[in-house]
Amino acid sequence: NLLSCDPSNRYLSAWNAHCFSEKRSKEEKIIHAKNIIDSVYKHIPARKKIHFVEPEGPEECGILFRNNFTTPFVYQLHNRFPSYSKWHLSKDQDPAYEYYKKQLQIIQSEDNDQQHARWILKAPMHLLYLDSLISTFPDANVVVTHRDPGKILPSNISLGLSSLTACTRIRDSQHKEYARTALMLLFFLIQITIEKRNKLPNNNFLDIQYNDLVANPINVVEAIYDNFSLEHSDQFHYNMEKYLK
């Protein structure tokens, strides 16, 4: 959200993410996205607190991968299809990222106001496919946020269970099994991320601590821009301060 305060940046709006393939006007897509979001919050009230989104606000770009059925964490944590995740992780993800890039290009081509703005994108699933990400976007600047796994896991479990209980019949006795699956996936994600990072150029990446971001958000954002030699304007600072208030 903070990086989206920069007028030089472009974020993936929820209405573009949820209604990418629909032949509707922008206004109709915004209304439809609002209906989708309201429906999710109606059936999964806890999700509004965990993952709050507005139709014209930023949304995680992992949604675009659903358009070619390549979102393993969504299927594994929200619908419990471990066989799908196992199959998916064995496949070359370069084609999926090429399609992802094409979707972003189409969205950008339809926006005359921000033809040359930088894309600001976010999805935890990118950590699994850093090689495909950098191969598709060799000039990408990747910010990796580090947080205490002991705090990430309960958050992931809460988010996943809130969706799972709304979509499937899961008994209370299965919650422990679900928690074990979430722990296994978190461990796997960390392991894969380290392995792939070690094979890629360091200049594409910057590591920041989540606690630092919470304590001094503007300072951390400035450090990100300085690390990648990006300019940060007075308007950007004003927008961040306004957002944080």
Q: Is the per-residue pLDDT at 165 higher than 80?
A: no
* 2-6, 63-67, 152-156: range with lowest mean pLDDT: 152-156
Confidence class for position 188, pLDDT limits 50, 70, 90: confident
High-pLDDT (> 90) share of the chain, %: 56
Q: What is the pLDDT of residue 176?
A: 78
CA-to-CA separations, 175 to 44, 81, 162, 165, in angstroms, rounded: 17, 16, 11, 10
Closest CA to 107 of 52, 71, 63: 63
Mean pLDDT of 60-78: 75
Q: What is the pLDDT of residue 172?
A: 67
Confidence class for position 186, pLDDT limits 50, 70, 90: confident
pLDDT digit string (tens) for 200-242?
999 999 999 999 999 999 999 999 999 999 999 999 999 999 9
Q: What is the pLDDT of residue 205?
A: 97
Mean pLDDT of 169-182: 74
Confidence class for position 133, pLDDT limits 50, 70, 90: very high
What DSSP letter does each residue of the chain carry, written as one string?
--GGG-TTEEE-BHHHHHSTT----HHHHHHHHHHHHHHHHHH-HHHHHHS---TTSB--GGGGGGGGT--HHHHHHHS--HHHHHHHHTS--HHHHHHHHHHHHHHHHT-GGGTTPEEE---GGGGGGHHHHHHH-TT--EEEEE--HHHHHHHHHHHHHHHHHHHS---GGGHHHHHHHHHHHHHHHHHHHHHHHTTS-GGGEEEEEHHHHHHSHHHHHHHHHHHTT----HHHHHHHHHHH-
CA-to-CA separations, 75 to 72, 79, 87, 120, 131, in angstroms, rounded: 5, 5, 12, 25, 22
Mean pLDDT of 171-192: 80
Token output for 155: 């958050």
Confidence class for position 167, pLDDT limits 50, 70, 90: low
Residue type, 26: K
Confidence class for position 99, pLDDT limits 50, 70, 90: very high
CA distance 69 to 82: 14
Q: What is the pLDDT of residue 137?
A: 97
pLDDT digit string (tens) for 14-61?
999 998 877 888 899 999 999 999 998 888 887 888 889 999 999 999
Q: What is the pLDDT of residue 95?
A: 94
CB 84 within 8 A of CB 72: yes
